[in-house]
Structure 1
């Protein structure tokens, strides 16, 4: 595929998924604007069954658990991955395509991508969310130059222990991913608590300092709008 540099007029060869490049003739940074097509791939696992079980056993030892492993299976979970421009930089966003994902994932691990074949569809979990939901979300965030849109099936070991609980292990990196849900919930809880505390302190100070009821009402209204706008921006940046 070729494009023409708007600065010097030179023809430049680009890769199909390129989003940003520099003109080799005049060194002008270029951000490509094109309509991406949703492509589907499966990532090949690098962590086999035996090391996966070893990682899970070590995890149980560290948690002082006496549970035994009763079942293990390799599953491919669906994730949408987007690359786009936002505020002058290239941003990667990853969303689970499941309604109730068993864990959170913020970046896609590197791995070998292979096309989806009919004979391996039985181990692929079907997407439960349509890609249009996330495209609409990014429009609201004023995302520009959407350069990549992929449906990726990532391999994970689902390991069930005798207590009935499940351990999820990343079959690309050999890491336990179950525990990151709790960390994210704690971080979100702290953020909400801090923001609400600051908001109510501001309202209290304004209520005491301003004697006019009309002016106080207007000032507190502006504060509330500014607070919720800031909180929305903060969560968009975090997640």
Structure 2
């Protein structure tokens, strides 16, 4: 199994408790965490990235244990080699596109090696944003910002890519275009993709394994093809 998750977490917010109980195993390269907003999908993604520490359970990716409460193992985010694209992209507004993409490669001195600078330039070209390199995020479009966020996540050559509602901020025609672009790039990379979405169109487009969430827990798992068939029957 490429990704194995079995975690529990209790959240207290505004005097209310939310219980996350997520358990699933993914064998292929693509998986979609699918369900309504507030069902625990993003919390699971954050736990995979190391941005949230579960109360109990375990997480492993390609055989590497990132979290195991029984063994007191917790690998910090910077050592997990996980690419994460936030729903709002979380670009640094004071940095240029090039600087945003290079951020994960930058040493404390802020100066890239010639090899790293060349790698950043190739990544900009891969995403078709080399012409935007010296602009800041406020001066580029939503679709372009999404490409910058994806380029920043992948420039470090991560072992897995996590996407949180990656197309929700885009209008429908642009969503279709960016989905196709992302699929083309991912087809060249042998890394697992975990995507959070509540949009059936994402499930239909990206395929793979679908983990359905409801009220803080995993309800069941299906193939994307099975999900498509069930959606057609309901329609």
TM-score, normalized by the shorter chain, greater than 0.5:
no
Q: In which range does the TM-score fall when normalised by the shorter chain?
A: under 0.3
* Bigger Rg, which one: 1
Greater RCO (CA < 8 Å, at least 6 residues apart): 2
Which TM-score applies when normalising by structure 2? 0.22
